[in-house]
A and B are shown apart, each in its own frame.
Chain A
Amino acid sequence: MNTHELFQRRDFLKLSAAGLLSGVSVPWFESMANAAGQVQRPRGKKCILLWMDGGPSQAHTFDPKPGGEFKSLPTTVPGIHVTEKFPKLAQCMKDMAFLRSMTTEINDHYDAKYYLHTGFRRVTNLEHPSIGSIASAFVGLPNDDMPAFVTIDAGNDKGNGGRFYRSVPAYLGPRHAPLAVQHPARGLENLKPDTRGLDRRLQLLGKGEERFAREYNLPVVNAKQAAFQRAVNLMHSPRARAFNLDNEPAAIREQYGEHRFGKSCLLARRLIESGVSFVEIFHRGWDDHEGAGMRIAARAPWMDGAMSTLILDLKQRGMLDDVLIVWMGEFGRTPGDGNGHFCRAWTSMMAGGGINTGQAVGATNENGKNPGDTITRRPITAPDFMATLCTILGIDPHQELMASGGRPMPLVDKKAKVVTELIA
């Protein structure tokens, strides 16, 4: 897949004119700036993945059980309940769907993170691309000003939860690696130019670059110059303002919440709005071995507030049908107190995305010795989940790709079955 993308080589001299800062009006730049300001329609749907690293307890969130630590709360959809800690999300139920019958086979953090990000079990010495990189390759727009795949570090409230999984593009090629935002309030690193003499510096650079490109008219040189040009475009693009939360009205910032998770959700919305295809927000520390009750009671207010605001905000902007929100971790937790890892029966959530919302797909037992420890309806495996996610985003899960060494790899395991109940 690492084929050279042959960029159209642009006249490098124009680069220097990108220094709008000098106040010089250059006709070509005006037109480019306009084009850059427009958000092109992607090839499929966009996605915000809210990754609860460590494994959130389903019993304390979206699959309440009789006798559980938290009371159950009715939602706007009759028959579907969440725990009492999520009153705002309960009001959004018509735009959400629960997948209450997630069942995977891996109880180790890292392998499970890998499994749920790629749809494949981890093996030695072959890497599979993560869902964000897949979306970058198949939904993202090639050579757009905005990167296709961004990760946002929403921080952690505990240090455990096993080794951190880092999204890799594997055989899709390094250009589908994520652009990492280390802190939502700081935005994209190195985006803000040092304006001192920038225009003059770019002019000085442009002269040498032009000569070099003439002397070495090779794909690799053209690709470098095109990438440089894209970075300069982004620096000057009105769309780059998406990375700066200060540009958002205070009222909206407040609704999302003045905490790192809320800021991350707000940044995700801004990025999606400005052309990013896939945003993964990770929040670490959900490995609640000392009992999920107290921990989730503390996290629920900000999670409830930020997630419900995200859904409503996207809806208000008419974007919700084109943006899928996914909430999940690498597994669930033991029914009851949520102390242990539990991969046999757990819950994930999807919202928006133009899917059939207002339903709970699959179910776990309500009664018996240990309510919630057994799936009673429609098990969903990790490959099923991945095939469903791809299908919703408009990516054919059954296509075959070429991994390195000429190995054909199906994008998703061939045995995977799409959860058709979700597909509108």
Chain B
Amino acid sequence: MKHLLNIPTKWGMGLLAILAVLPGLAAEETVKSPLLERDVLPILQKNCMGCHGGLKQKRELDLRTLPAMLKGGKGGPAVVAGKPEESALWQSIAEDEMPKGKPPLSKKDKDVLKDWISAGLPTLAHLLKKYEKPLLPAGEKHEPGVVADAVDGHVSGQMANRGLKAAAVAGDAEFLRRLYLDLNGRVPTPEQAAAFLDSSEPDKRAKLIDELLAAPEFGVHFGRTWREWICPPELPSDMNSGRQPVQQSRDLGKWLARQFNENATWDKLVRDILTVKGEIKNQPQLIFYGLVGQNAQATPSGSTRAIGSLFMGVQLQCAQCHDDPFRDWAQNEFWGLAGFFNSMTGNFSKVQSREVPGEMSIPKSAFFNAGTRVPVGFLHGTKPDAKRKTDWRGVFVDWLTRRENPFFARAFANRLWFQLFTRGIVHPVNDMRALNPPTHPGLLNLLTNEFAASGFDVKHLLRCICNSQTYQRTSRGTVARQQELFGRAPMRVMTADMLLESLKIAYGDPKLDLRTHAKDDGNTNGESAAVGDEYMEFHRRFGTNEEDATDFTHGIPQMLTFINHPRLRQGGRFLEDWLKKNPDIKPETMIERLYLGTLSRRPGTEELAEAVAYTAACEEPKQAYTDVLWMLVNRSEYLFVR
């Protein structure tokens, strides 16, 4: 279930008929006239760009960008502001001369295009311009509190512009649980929860942020998260004698964990992955190229697509086979980038440099231009010095990790925001382009600048965001726009990793195993096996929608596991231990501990009364508390990051 990397290679069919949907723009609802990105492009993409876009430019007309439309083709300018009659676009659709060989446009679509031209070609990008100006001076690092204030100012301003108010700041319990899950990938232990809730220090939230960023579990959580973005636990490659490199991929996660914990700067971490060579021993990151390649081999196109998506925030897959119909990058640019990764060969165990000229021949698998030789080149950028190099990857990484690179810092900042808020400031996170503008341009610029100015300091950027009121808002409320504009925290479903680690806390059992099959049902190396180890099985069962954490996707098997799984019906030894150590413990105290270890808060008055009444009616104390624990992990509140 990887989604962020959903980038196909070659298609046997249908590319010409692509319709791209505009990802949910936070459109200016106050603007009544049609907007290019919101209203016009979907119509053009569906009906016109197959012939007048990146694939073909019939009659020399390209409708992908506004300047190209203004320039027009053989029939004159496609659009003339305020003058539909003089616009070739309107002329050709008014009487259904176009689209050729397709059903005519509906009256509604025609009206949209006409109104848009009449209104003077308004664009969302132009409307958002006013929000672009830097909120803080670029080029210098600021104190987290200063950045957090700027974040809040910008987000509140955007809300106010739309006549909305941000939600209240969350209470301590809500903040505590969210922060633990976001930074350490699990809920706090009962002791940790009680200590924070009972503290009266005024700056206890900032202190907790520092504490959790310093905990080893921070790296573990971020390492797993990135490992899964690179490649899901269920690995795609099967040509490695039928085995999946499960262990190597987990080792990659551990390597990432170490980097994050040591706060290796993002440019260093990425450089260590992308310029790796030699044997996998002592450098687990080497598996990267094999994982994103095909058939256990590194491929220039696979590397390019993955690096584009993960480290640059762009989707390059369309340009692999032809000029992108909607994004203004050409096939040449894809293969120019791929050329950098043509200077290596690699598989699951080693990566070697090879000496190649600074060019790449477009392979047969592409629809167009197979055999054309393309010199190496950066996306939308200058050409590197084309002298013969043994390993062009270093040249690429030098370009990528420069502070002023337009993709690198921005892609990370946006993805980090997505991780915490379920929506990127540009969304989807790997589709940054002119016609998919950010909802909060100033915010994205702010975070990008701060990240670059700090020397790509991951913990610093997290500290800035987590200290903001925007991060600390409650998830209570139902106005959807409020959440889309980051004025309220989203209610998210815990990822499989968060859930497993949190259940271990609730049951006081670091080895919690929720497999139900018999051990003899299959081997675990992935070959011909129907089942895997407990980690993989748990992931299969409790995997979530990685594109949208607010989408509840669990069904009957997951709920049955919670309701009836024998392990979750046993409280475990920790309950016995508690009872043994404190034979006179009051039910109230026990129930409070159970609440703290699951929901990270104390029970409310009603809740406490109900649970006390429940336990009083049970004969056997251990069974009573086991039942209360069962009830707590079955609560909706348990499964969510609220």
- Please report A residues at the B interface, Cβ cutoff 8 Å: 2, 4, 53, 108-111, 120-121, 123-127, 147, 153, 156, 159-164, 166, 168, 171, 173-175, 179-180, 182-183, 188-194, 196-197, 200-201, 204-205, 207-209, 211-213, 215-221, 223-225, 227-228, 230-232, 234-235, 282, 284, 400, 402-410, 413-415
When the two chains form their complex, are residues A193 and B9 in contact, meaning their CB atoms are under 8 A apart?
no
Interface hit among B51-59, B150-158, B540-548:
B540-548
A201 neighbours in B (Cβ, 8 Å): 627, 630-631
Assess whether A179 is in contact with B6, with CB atoms less than 8 Å apart.
Answer: no
Minimal Cβ-Cβ distance residue in B for A153: B530
Q: Is the CB of B12 within 8 A of A413?
A: yes
Contact, CB under 8 Å: A220 / B6: no
**A220 CB contact (under 8 Å) in B552, B623, B628:** B552
Q: Are B523 and A159 in contact (CB under 8 A)?
A: yes
Complex A-B: 8 CB contacts under 8 Å = A120-B12, A124-B9, A126-B8, A147-B555, A164-B527, A166-B234, A200-B614, A408-B17
- Whether the Cβ atoms of A190 and B551 lie closer than 8 Å is no
Known pairs A190-B516, A223-B552. 10 more at Cβ < 8 A? Answer: A147-B556, A159-B528, A182-B530, A205-B631, A219-B550, A220-B491, A224-B636, A225-B636, A405-B431, A410-B13
Q: Could you tell me how many residues of chain B have their Cβ less than 8 Å away from some Cβ of chain A?
A: 97
B24 to chain A, nearest CB (A): 11
Residue in B3, B610, B631 whose beta carbon sits within 8 Å of that of A404 in the complex? B3
How many Å from the CB of B453 to the closest CB on chain A? 31
Taking a contact as CB atoms under 8 Å apart, the answer to whether A121 and B8 are in contact is no
* Inter-chain contact A409/B14, CB cutoff 8 Å: yes
CB distance from A326 to the nearest CB of B (A): 20
> Do A163 and B528 contact each other (CB < 8 Å), given the known contacts A124-B9, A124-B302?
yes
The prevalent SS among residues of A at the interface is: mixed
A227 touches B560 (CB 8 A): no
**Contact assessment for B516 and A125 in the assembled complex, using a CB-CB cutoff below 8 Å:** no
Question: Which residue of chain B has the shortest Cβ distance to A232 in the bound complex?
Answer: B563
Are A174 and B7 touching (Cβ within 8 A)? no
Candidates B564, B623, B628; contact of A193 at CB < 8 Å:
B564
Interface status of B447 (Cβ within 8 A of chain A): no
Q: From B88-96, B162-170, B236-244, give the one contacting chain A.
A: B236-244
Tell me the minimal C-beta distance from A136 to chain B in angstroms: 10
Q: In whole angstroms, what is the CA distance A65 to B526 when docked? A: 36
Is B138 interfacial (CB 8 A cutoff)? no
| Residues of chain B lying within 8 A (CB to CB) of residue A220 | 491-493, 550-552, 640
| C-alpha spacing A135/B516, complex, angstroms | 27
On whether the beta carbons of B636 and A163 are closer than 8 Å, the reply is no
Per the bound structure, the CA–CA distance linking A125 and B316 in Å amounts to: 13
- With A124-B292, A126-B7, A216-B491 as given contacts, are A4 and B556 in contact (CB-CB < 8 Å)? no
Decide: A173 and B14 in contact? CB cutoff 8 A.
no
B14, A410: Cβ atoms closer than 8 Å: yes
B13 and A205: CB pair below 8 A?
no
Is B402 on the interface with A (CB-CB < 8 A)? no
Decide: B553 and A174 in contact? CB cutoff 8 A.
Answer: yes
Contacts of B493 in A (CB 8 A): 220
Residues of A within 8 A of B522 (CB): 164
Within the complex, the shortest CB–CB distance from A416 to chain B, in Å, comes to: 9
Which residue of A166, A183, A190 is within 8 Å of B564 (Cβ)? A190
Inter-chain contacts of A407 with B (CB < 8 A): 6, 8, 18, 20
Are A183 and B521 in contact (CB-based, < 8 A)?
Answer: yes
- Expressed in whole angstroms, the Cα–Cα distance for A224 and B521 within the complex equals 31
In the assembled complex, B533 has its CB within 8 A of some CB on chain A: no
Cα A166 to Cα B2 with chains together (Å): 15
B125 within 8 A of A: no
CB pair B23 A125 closer than 8 Å = no
Whether the pair A175, B553 counts as a contact (CB closer than 8 A) is yes
B1–A174 CB distance below 8 A: yes
**Are A406 and B23 in contact, CB atoms less than 8 angstroms apart?**
yes
A111 to B299, CA, bound (A): 18
Task: For the complex, give the distance between the alpha carbons of A147 and B559 in Å.
Answer: 13
User: A163-B528, A404-B547 known; A227 and B554 CB under 8 Å?
Assistant: yes
* Cβ-defined partner of A190 (8 Å) among B5, B565, B642: B565
Chain B nearest CB from A351 CB (Å) reads: 25
B591-642: which residues lie under 8 A (CB-CB) from chain A? Answer: 606-607, 610-611, 614, 617-618, 623, 627-628, 630-631, 634-637, 639-640, 642
Give the interface centre of B493, B564, B565, B628 by most chain A CB atoms within 10 Å.
B564
- Give Cα A215–Cα B491 distance, bound, in whole angstroms: 12
Can you list the 6 inter-chain pairs with the closest CB atoms, starting with the nearest? A231-B559, A126-B8, A174-B553, A223-B552, A406-B21, A190-B560
In Å, the complex CA distance between A157 and B604 comes to 57
B2 touches A125 (CB 8 A): yes
Contact B637 A212 (CB under 8 A): yes
Q: Within 8 Å of chain A (Cβ to Cβ): is B315?
A: yes
A194 touches B521 (CB 8 A): no
If the complex has contacts A163-B238, A220-B640, are A191 and B564 also in contact, measured as CB distance less than 8 A? yes
A124, closest chain B residue (CB): B294
Whole-angstrom distance between the Cβ of A128 and the nearest chain B Cβ: 10
Q: How far is the CA of A163 from the CA of B236 in the complex (A)?
A: 11
Contacts of B607 in A (CB 8 A): 208
The answer to whether B133 has its CB under 8 Å from any CB of chain A is: no
A127→B8 CA distance, assembly (Å): 8
Q: Are B543's CB and A174's CB within 8 A?
A: yes
A203 to B370, CA, bound (A): 67
Known contacts A191-B564, A217-B478, A163 near B614 by CB under 8 Å:
no
Residues of A within 8 A of B430 (CB): 405
Beta-carbon contact of B545 and A2 below 8 Å: yes
Q: Which residues of A contact B550 (CB under 8 A)?
A: 4, 219-220
Which residues of chain A are near B491, meaning CB under 8 Å?
216, 218, 220-221
CB contact between B521 and one of A153, A179, A190 (< 8 Å): that residue: A153
Do the beta carbons of B557 and A227 come within 8 Å of each other? no
Judge whether B19 is part of the interface by a CB distance below 8 angstroms: yes
Please tell me if the beta carbons of B14 and A227 are within 8 angstroms of each other in the complex: no
* A190 / chain B contacts, CB cutoff of 8 Å: 516, 557, 560-561, 563-565
Chain B residues closer than 8 Å to A204, beta-carbon distance: 610-611, 614, 627-628, 631
Quick check: B315 and A227 within 8 Å, CB to CB? no
The answer to whether B528 and A161 touch across the interface, beta carbons within 8 angstroms, is yes
Q: Mark B211-244, 1 if CB is under 8 A from A, else 0.
A: 0000000000000000000000010101100111
- Interface pair A227/B556, CB less than 8 Å apart: yes
The answer to whether residues A212 and B636 also contact, given A123-B9, A124-B236 and a CB cut-off of 8 A, is yes
Distance between B491 CB and nearest chain A CB, rounded to angstroms: 5
Shortest CB distance A399–B (Å)? 12
CB distance from A198 to the nearest CB of B (A): 9
Q: Is the CB of B555 within 8 A of A227?
A: yes
Partner of A183, one of B305, B517, B523, B556: B517
Q: Which residue, B315, B550, B560, has most C-beta atoms of chain A within 10 A?
A: B560
> CB within 8 A of B7: which of A120, A121, A125, A211?
A125
Residue among B8, B431, B611 with the highest chain A CB neighbour number at 10 A? B8
Contacting pair B637 A218 (CB below 8 A): no
Interface pair B242/A163, CB less than 8 Å apart = yes
User: In the complex, what residues of A have CB within 8 A of residue B548's CB?
Assistant: 2
A125 touches B517 (CB 8 A): no
Interface pair A124/B293, CB less than 8 Å apart:
yes
- Cβ of B338 to closest chain A Cβ, rounded Å: 14
> A217: shortest Cβ distance to chain B, in Å?
6
| Cβ–Cβ < 8 Å partners of B614 in chain A | 200, 204
**Complex formed: what's the CA distance from A218 to B238 in Å?**
41
CA gap between A208 and B559 in the complex, in Å: 17
Decide: A224 and B563 in contact? CB cutoff 8 A.
no
Q: How far is the CA of A419 from the CA of B534 in the complex (A)?
A: 43
- Asked if B476 is an interface residue, CB under 8 A from chain A, the answer is yes
Give the chain B neighbours of A161 by CB distance below 8 A: 528
A242 → B minimal CB distance (Å): 13
Within the complex, what minimum Cβ distance (angstroms) separates A236 from chain B?
A: 12
B10 in the interface (beta carbon within 8 A): yes
Question: What separation, in Å, do the CA atoms of A127 and B607 have in the docked complex?
Answer: 45
Chain A contacts for B2, CB-based, 8 A: 125
A408 near B14 with CB under 8 A, answer: yes
Q: In angstroms, how far is the closest chain A Cβ from the Cβ of B64?
A: 15
